[in-house]
Amino acid sequence: MTSTTSPASQPADYIEQAQRRLPDMLADIERVISIETPSHDKKAVAAGAQDFAALLKDRLGAEAELLEIDGTTHVRLRFGTGPARVVLLNHQDTVWPHGTLDRIPFSTEDGILRGPGSFDMLTGAIMSVHATAIVADHLGEGGLDGLSILVTGDEEIASLTSSELIRAEAAEAKAVFVMEASADGALKLERKGTSNYVLKFTGKASHAGLEPEKGINAGMALALTLPLVADLADAAAGTTVVPTVISAGTTSNTVPAEARVDIDVRARTAAELERVDAQIQELAATPLVEGSTMEVLGGINRPPFEREQSAALFERATALASELGLPTPQGVSVGGASDGNFTAGDGIATLDGLGAVGDGAHAEHEHAVIDEIAPRTALLAALIADQLRG
């Protein structure tokens, strides 16, 4: 039975419907967790996308599109024929390698849901499906017109093939809701922008014992550069510049001819990302070991997600939570980036962290709290309907 009553006038219905749907949500979460989708395995990601499209048909009765971009498969379900006015942003790829399910199978015990991707972010993706079903029940036929559900397949590896899809889909939207999880339930109002670099050093190999003077030590060039890279950080501005993966050389008795380091950069403003980018490029022009060279790969990946893009939607979330009888949402700023950075960076109203409550993203103790799933699904449904109805 459908209704055209606004969500705000029947808050109990949203909570009750979400609670009734909880067993189905848990079944669907088990379904998606049970298909391993490590980001770099495009065949596995495609299998996950195909099943997610089938799940959307099962729950919403609508045919989703499978969009392959540079070999990576993404899922899009649009309602209506016009441009998207509300976008639900999800991803179904995970950081976990094949075989993780053998060690950490799906389970529900003592109110906790476990399994690879349970927190980041498969529970949130399923919540978006069931929130949409609740809205459809309330708004009736045609009530979902203008809604788009995106489920991408490469978020965990910088969204290289999906970023333009996300930005294009949300270009005319009035609201984007990102289903990333939250360790404490707080909504994400601000995220730092990110840059990712690989610095490649080239020297000349020689025998380390017989004629080291004939070599050009790429490892030493890397070592001398690391303090300069670290000095690009600015704690007062909230800018971090962190060398992460480091490698050099081939054998213990050979002067290294090659070396490399990955650099992770996070900043609150676009100006800071651009400053660090320019200074890293300057370092490449002045190698610190004579005869060596340094090549910079990568660059700015995600723009900052600034608070002004989330303020109005957070205000609506607070009001709707009150009408639903839920606790007042808290808002936080975080250093980690998400796909919401792309839409917020384009000036589109974006609210993040609407997915699971739990902990352990990318860690062995990854989990979601079952009691939080239904209330947060109800809040998401209210937000969707609120924006679709204007």
Mean pLDDT value across residues 70-78: 98
Read off the pLDDT band of 11 (50, 70, 90). low
Architecture of the structural domain at 7-191+305-389:
3-Layer(aba) Sandwich (3.40)
Tell me whether the omega of the peptide bond preceding residue 121 falls within 30 degrees of 0, making it cis.
Answer: yes
Q: Is the pLDDT of residue 4 over 60?
A: no
- For 21, 24, 78, 213, 286, the CA distances from 290, given in Å and listed in that order, are 66, 65, 57, 12, 10
pLDDT tens-digit readout, 89-138: 999 999 999 999 999 999 999 999 999 999 999 999 999 999 999 999 99
What ranges make up the beta strands (E) of the chain?
65-69, 72-78, 86-91, 107-109, 112-114, 147-152, 175-178, 187-191, 193-202, 240-248, 258-267, 293-302, 331-334, 350-351, 358-359, 367-369
State the DSSP H helix or E strand holding residue 221, giving kind and residue range, or none if neither: helix 218-230
Determine the Cα angle at 52 with ends 370 and 151, to 5°.
85
Write down the pLDDT at residue 60: 97
Write down the pLDDT at residue 10: 61
| Backbone φ and ψ of 192, nearest 5° | -70, 150
Mean pLDDT value across residues 43-60: 98
Write down the pLDDT at residue 12: 67
Burial of 294 (0-12, 13-18, 19+ CB in 10 A): buried
Q: Is the pLDDT of residue 8 over 90?
A: no
DSSP string, 74-126: EEEEE-SSS--SEEEEEE--BSPPTTHHHHS--EEETTEEESTTIIIIIHHHH
Write down the pLDDT at residue 9: 44
Read off the pLDDT band of 318 (50, 70, 90). very high
User: Among candidates 331, 322, 332, which has minimal Cα distance to 375?
Assistant: 322
pLDDT-wise least confident of 7-21, 57-71, 238-252, 269-283: 7-21
User: Among candidates 120, 121, 143, which has minimal Cα distance to 60?
Assistant: 143
pLDDT tens-digit readout, 200-233: 999 999 999 999 999 999 999 999 999 999 999 9
The whole-chain average pLDDT of the chain stands at 95
Write down the pLDDT at residue 87: 98
Read off the pLDDT band of 249 (50, 70, 90). very high
Helix (H, G, I), strand (E, B) or coil at 151: strand
Q: Taking the domains of the chain in order of start, what are their residue ranges?
A: 7-191+305-389, 193-302
- For 274, 276, 358, 363, the CA distances from 191, given in Å and listed in that order, are 17, 18, 19, 21
Q: Is the pLDDT of residue 390 over 80?
A: no
Please say whether the beta carbons of 127 and 179 come within 8 A. Answer: yes
Write down the pLDDT at residue 2: 39
Q: Is the pLDDT of residue 5 over 50?
A: no
Write down the pLDDT at residue 281: 96
Query: For the chain, what percent of residues have pLDDT higher than 90?
Result: 93
Q: Helices 123-139 and 373-389 meet at what angle, rounded to 10?
A: 50
CATH number of the domain at 193-302, out of 2.40.50.140, 3.30.70.360, 3.40.50.1100, 3.90.230.10? 3.30.70.360
Write down the pLDDT at residue 140: 83
Please say whether the beta carbons of 357 and 180 come within 8 A. Answer: no
Q: Report the predicted TM-score, pTM, of the whole model to 2 decimal places.
A: 0.89
Distance between CA atoms of 98 and 118, rounded to whole angstroms?
Answer: 15
Distance between CA atoms of 125 and 182, rounded to whole angstroms?
Answer: 13
